[in-house]
Amino acid sequence: MGKPRLICALVCLLLFLCGQVILMITKVEATSNVHIVYLGGKQHDDPMLKTDSHHDLLASVVGSKEIASELMVYSYKHGFSGFAAKLSESQAQKVAELPGVVRVIPNSLHRLQTTRSWDFLGLSAHSPVNTLHNSSMGDGVIIGVLDTGIWPEAKAFSDKGLGPIPSHWKGVCESGKRFKAKSHCNKKIIGARWFVEGFLAEYGQPLNTSGNREFFSPRDASGHGTHTASTAAGTFIDNVSYKGLALGTIRGGAPRARLAIYKVCWNVLGGQCSSADILKAFDEAIHDGVDVLSLSIGSSIPLFSDIDERDGIATGSFHAVAKGITVVCGAANDGPFAQTVQNTAPWILTVAASSMDRAFPTPITLGNNKTFLGILIHWLITKCNVFFDRSKFHCPTWFPCSVCQFLSVDNSMVAGKVVLCFTSMNPGAVRSASEVVKEAGGVGLIVAKNPSEALYPCTDGFPCVEVDYEIGTRILFYIRSTRSPVVKLSPSKTIVGKPVLAKVAHFSSRGPNSIAPAILKPDIAAPGVNILAATSPLDRFQDGGYVMHSGTSMATPHVSGIAALLKAIHPDWSPAAIKSAIVTTGFPIFAEGSPQKLADPFDYGGGIANPNGAADPGLVYDMGTDDYVNYLCAMDYNNTAISRLTGKPTVCPTEGPSILNINLPSITIPNLRNSVVLTRTVTNVGASNSIYRVVIEVPFCCSVSVEPHVLVFNHTTKKITFSVTVSTTYEVNTGYFFGSITWIDGVHTVRSPFKEMASELMVHSYKHGFSGFAAKLTESQAQKVAQLPGVVRVIPNSFHKLQTTRSWDFLGLSSHSPVNALHNSSMGDGIIIGIFDTGIWPESKAFSDEGLGPIPSSWKGACEPGKQFDPKIHCNRKIIGARWIIDGMLADYGQLLNTSGNQEFLSPRDANGHGTHLASTAAGAFVDNVSYKGLGLGTARGGAPRARLAIYKVCWSVFGGWCSAADVLKAFDEAIHDGVDVLSLSLGLPPPLFSDIDKRGGIDFGSFHAVANGITVVCSAGNDGPSAQTVLNTAPWILSVAASTIDRAFPTAITLGNNETFSVFLHSSKSLRFGFLTTSCLHHYFQNSACEYLSVNASMVAGKVVLCFTTVTVVPAVIVLSAAEVVKEAGGVGLIVAKNPSNDMYPCINGFPCIEVDYEIGTRMLYYIRSTSFPVVKLSPSKTIVGKPVLAKVAHFSSRGPNSKSPAILKPDIAAPGVNILAAASPLDTFQDGGYVMHSGTSMAAPHVAGIVALLKGIHPDWSPAAIKSALVTTAWTNHPSGFPIFAEGSPQKLANPFDFGGGIANPNGAADPGLVYDMGTADYINYLCAMDYNITAISRLTGLPTVCPYEELSILDVNLPSITIPNLRNSSTLTRTVTNVGASNSIYRAVIEPPFGTSVSVKPNVLVFNNKTKKVTFTVTVTTAHQVNTGYFFGSITWTDGVHTVRSPLSVRTEILQPYISEN
**Cα(1108)–Cα(1159) distance, rounded to whole angstroms?**
10
Q: How confident is the model at residue 403 (pLDDT cuts 50, 70, 90)?
A: low
Q: Which of 155-164, 356-365, 1077-1086 has the highest mean pLDDT?
A: 155-164
Across the chain, which distance is largest between two alpha carbons, in Å? 107
At 270-283, the pLDDT tens digits run: 788 888 899 899 99
The pLDDT, as a whole number, for residue 840 is 98
> Residue 621: which of 667, 588, 653, 657 has the closest Cα?
667
Q: Which of 978-987, 1098-1107, 1121-1130 has the highest mean pLDDT?
A: 978-987
> Residue 376: which of 391, 363, 392 has the closest Cα?
363
Cβ distance 676 to 669 under 8 Å?
Answer: yes
Mean pLDDT computed over 1112-1120 = 65
For 214-228, 905-919, 1401-1415, 1423-1437, which range has the lowest pLDDT when averaged over its residues?
Answer: 1423-1437
Mean pLDDT computed over 1087-1096 = 66
At 211-268, the pLDDT tens digits run: 668 899 999 999 999 999 999 999 999 888 888 778 888 899 999 999 999 999 998 8
The pLDDT, as a whole number, for residue 18 is 27
**Cα(232)–Cα(1412) distance, rounded to whole angstroms?**
73
- Integer angstrom CA distances of residue 683 from 574, 586, 622: 12, 18, 7
**Cα(317)–Cα(303) distance, rounded to whole angstroms?**
16
Mean pLDDT computed over 1069-1085 = 27
The pLDDT, as a whole number, for residue 1099 is 78
At 1031-1046, the pLDDT tens digits run: 999 999 999 999 998 8
Q: How confident is the model at residue 1016 (pLDDT cuts 50, 70, 90)?
A: very high
Instruction: Please say if the pLDDT value at position 29 is more than 80.
Output: no
Instruction: Please say if the pLDDT value at position 619 is more than 90.
Output: yes
**Cα(275)–Cα(299) distance, rounded to whole angstroms?**
10
Checking 648-652 for CB contacts under 8 A at 24+ apart, the result is: 648/40, 648/41
**Cα(463)–Cα(661) distance, rounded to whole angstroms?**
54
Cβ distance 684 to 743 under 8 Å?
Answer: no
Instruction: Please say if the pLDDT value at position 761 is more than 50.
Output: no
Q: How confident is the model at residue 10 (pLDDT cuts 50, 70, 90)?
A: very low
Q: What is the sign, positive or negative, of the torsion defined by CA atoms of 178, 180, 186, 189? A: positive
- Residue with the larger pLDDT of the pair 757 and 121: 121
The pLDDT, as a whole number, for residue 211 is 66
Instruction: Please say if the pLDDT value at position 465 is more than 90.
Output: no
**Cα(1214)–Cα(1303) distance, rounded to whole angstroms?**
5
SS3 367: coil
**Cα(651)–Cα(484) distance, rounded to whole angstroms?**
78
Task: List, in order, residues 6 or more apart from 1223 with CB less than 8 Å away.
Answer: 805, 846, 916, 917, 918, 920, 921, 924, 940, 942, 1236, 1237, 1239, 1244
Q: What is the sign, positive or negative, of the torsion defined by CA atoms of 64, 70, 73, 78? A: positive
Q: How confident is the model at residue 1292 (pLDDT cuts 50, 70, 90)?
A: low
Mean pLDDT computed over 1209-1222 = 94
At 169-193, the pLDDT tens digits run: 999 999 999 999 999 999 999 999 9
> Residue 166: which of 229, 256, 254, 258 has the closest Cα?
258
Cis peptide before 1285 (omega within 30 of 0): no
The pLDDT, as a whole number, for residue 1291 is 54
The pLDDT, as a whole number, for residue 1344 is 85
Instruction: Please say if the pLDDT value at position 1465 is more than 60.
Output: no
The pLDDT, as a whole number, for residue 948 is 98
The pLDDT, as a whole number, for residue 210 is 61
**Cα(235)–Cα(231) distance, rounded to whole angstroms?**
9
The active-site residue, picked from 553, 957, 1027, 1437, is 553
> How large is the C-alpha radius of gyration of the chain?
33
- Integer angstrom CA distances of residue 773 from 731, 776, 792, 795: 21, 10, 12, 11
Q: How confident is the model at residue 457 (pLDDT cuts 50, 70, 90)?
A: low
DSSP percent split of the chain into helix, strand, coil, nearest 5? 25, 25, 50
- Residue with the larger pLDDT of the pair 805 and 102: 102
Q: How confident is the model at residue 1010 (pLDDT cuts 50, 70, 90)?
A: very high
**Cα(1005)–Cα(1035) distance, rounded to whole angstroms?**
9
The active-site residue, picked from 55, 110, 119, 147, is 147
Q: How confident is the model at residue 291 (pLDDT cuts 50, 70, 90)?
A: very high
Residue 293 host element (H or E)? strand 292-295
Q: How confident is the model at residue 811 (pLDDT cuts 50, 70, 90)?
A: confident
The pLDDT, as a whole number, for residue 768 is 25
SS3 1090: strand
Active site residue 147: yes
- Residue with the larger pLDDT of the pair 820 and 666: 666
Mean pLDDT computed over 1296-1322 = 95
> Residue 991: which of 1020, 1033, 1044 has the closest Cα?
1033
SS3 737: strand
CA within 13 Å, CB half, 387: 28
The pLDDT, as a whole number, for residue 1313 is 97
Task: List, in order, residues 6 or more apart from 900 with CB less than 8 Å away.
Answer: none
- Integer angstrom CA distances of residue 61 from 75, 95, 103, 105, 820: 17, 7, 15, 16, 81
Instruction: Please say if the pLDDT value at position 1084 is more than 60.
Output: no
Active site residue 553: yes
Q: How confident is the model at residue 591 (pLDDT cuts 50, 70, 90)?
A: low
Mean pLDDT computed over 450-466 = 67
Instruction: Please say if the pLDDT value at position 290 is more than 50.
Output: yes
The pLDDT, as a whole number, for residue 1302 is 96
Task: List, in order, residues 6 or more apart from 607 with CB less than 8 Å away.
Answer: 524, 525, 586, 587, 588, 589, 599
Instruction: Please say if the pLDDT value at position 1370 is more than 90.
Output: no
> Residue 118: which of 565, 580, 577, 598 has the closest Cα?
565
For the chain, the first-to-last Cα distance in angstroms comes to 96
DSSP string for residues in 759-803: -SS-SSSEESS---------HHHHHHHHTSTT-------------
Residue 446 host element (H or E)? strand 444-448
For 201-205, 504-508, 947-951, 1347-1351, which range has the lowest pLDDT when averaged over its residues?
Answer: 201-205
The count of other CB atoms within 10 Å of the CB of residue 178 is 13
Enumerate helices (H) and strands (E) in the chain, giving the number of each: 36, 76
Bridge pairing between strands 109-112 and 272-274: antiparallel
- Integer angstrom CA distances of residue 1273 from 966, 1040, 1365, 1422: 31, 11, 14, 21
**Cα(779)–Cα(765) distance, rounded to whole angstroms?**
31
The pLDDT, as a whole number, for residue 452 is 59
**Cα(78)–Cα(82) distance, rounded to whole angstroms?**
10
SS3 686: coil
The pLDDT, as a whole number, for residue 766 is 23
**Cα(421)–Cα(1397) distance, rounded to whole angstroms?**
35
**Cα(207)–Cα(217) distance, rounded to whole angstroms?**
13
CA within 13 Å, CB half, 528: 35
Number of residues that make up the chain? 1465
SS (H, E, C) 60-98: HHHCCHHHHHHHEEEEECCCCCEEEEECCHHHHHHHHCC
At 879-915, the pLDDT tens digits run: 999 999 998 888 777 666 766 566 889 999 999 899 9
Report how far Cα 524 is from the mean position of its chain's Cα atoms.
19
- Residue 487 phi, psi (nearest 5): -145, 145
**Cα(803)–Cα(808) distance, rounded to whole angstroms?**
8
The pLDDT, as a whole number, for residue 947 is 97
Using the CB atoms, write b or e for 897-921: b if 16+ within 10 Å.
beeeeeebbebbbbbbbbbbbbbbb
Active site residue 887: no
SS3 335: coil
Mean pLDDT computed over 953-979 = 88
**Cα(633)–Cα(548) distance, rounded to whole angstroms?**
43
At 918-929, the pLDDT tens digits run: 999 999 999 988
The proportion of the chain whose per-residue pLDDT surpasses 90, expressed as a percent, equals: 42
Cβ distance 1299 to 1201 under 8 Å?
Answer: yes
At 656-674, the pLDDT tens digits run: 789 999 999 999 888 888 8
The pLDDT, as a whole number, for residue 264 is 94
The mean pLDDT value of the chain amounts to 82
Mean pLDDT computed over 830-844 = 97
> Residue 1342: which of 924, 905, 1035, 1127 has the closest Cα?
1035
The pLDDT, as a whole number, for residue 249 is 85
- Vertex 837, ends 831 and 840: CA angle to 5°? 75
DSSP string for residues in 873-919: HH--SSEEEEEE--HHHHHHH-S---TTTTT--SSSB-SSSHHHHHH
The pLDDT, as a whole number, for residue 98 is 87
Bridge pairing between strands 326-330 and 292-295: parallel
**Cα(1210)–Cα(976) distance, rounded to whole angstroms?**
27
The active-site residue, picked from 54, 78, 224, 748, is 224
Q: How confident is the model at residue 596 (pLDDT cuts 50, 70, 90)?
A: low
The pLDDT, as a whole number, for residue 469 is 85
Residue 436 host element (H or E)? helix 427-439
